[in-house]
């Protein structure tokens, strides 16, 4: 009985915190929109930095969590699930390919995420096949190609070591990009 009352209090506090965060977010959004509407120069700056350049979702998420905490603070009520799959990237051989690297892996290799980030692209890339692009928390976009993916959706947050999918055959293609420029893969593998 006492435990039930404590759980209700925790839930009530969590809901109150979440509503406060939601209200603060709405207020910031409205103040931002009014400011943009009133100042044409700010509108141009916003347009150039958000619509013309690659918006960094992971930086926005990290800043939000730093100042406001997690979006839903139900951690004390809901038990966190432990990942079943949490691996590091393993391969037999690597060689340069196009603007990245081709890794020789086992058939139907289960591909882990190299770093945490947000899925910003899912689709076909010429010469690479099925590709998932993850914008990592360090600002680097990582392309994972030649894989089958099942449960990954656009804008999912992926933890480091989390399963992305399985390779089609025994090759995995990776590319690393920052601010539109391809990076040397040897620093990241």
Strand partners, 98: none
What is the pTM assigned to this prediction? 0.62
- pLDDT for residue 84 is more than 60: no
Query: DSSP string of 169-183?
Result: SSEEEEEEEETTEE-
Phi and psi torsions of 133, nearest 5°? -110, 125
- Summarised one tens digit per residue, pLDDT across range 105-164 is 988 888 999 999 999 999 998 888 899 999 998 889 999 999 988 788 998 888 888 889
Q: What is the Cα–Cα distance from 158 to 180, expressed in whole angstroms?
A: 22
Q: pLDDT over 90 for what percent of the chain? A: 19
Alpha carbon 78 to its chain centroid, in Å, reads 22
């Amino acid at each position: 009985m006492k435990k039930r009352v404590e759980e209700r209090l925790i839930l009530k506090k969590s809901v109150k915190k979440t509503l406060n965060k939601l209200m603060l977010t709405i207020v910031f959004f409205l103040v931002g929109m009014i400011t943009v509407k009133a100042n044409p120069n700010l509108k141009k700056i916003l347009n150039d930095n958000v619509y013309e350049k690659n918006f960094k979702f992971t930086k926005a998420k990290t800043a939000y969590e730093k100042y406001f905490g997690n979006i839903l603070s139900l951690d004390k009520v809901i038990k966190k699930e432990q990942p079943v799959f949490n691996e590091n990237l393993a391969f037999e051989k690597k060689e340069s390919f196009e603007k990245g690297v081709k890794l020789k892996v086992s058939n139907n290799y289960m591909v882990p995420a190299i770093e945490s980030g947000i899925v910003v692209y899912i689709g076909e890339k010429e010469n690479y096949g099925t590709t998932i692009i993850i914008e990592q928390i360090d600002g680097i976009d990582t392309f994972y190609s030649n894989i089958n993916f099942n449960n990954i959706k656009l804008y999912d947050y992926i933890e480091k070591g989390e399963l992305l999918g399985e390779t089609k055959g025994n090759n995995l293609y990776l590319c690393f990009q920052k601010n539109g420029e391809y990076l040397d893969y040897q620093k990241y593998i």
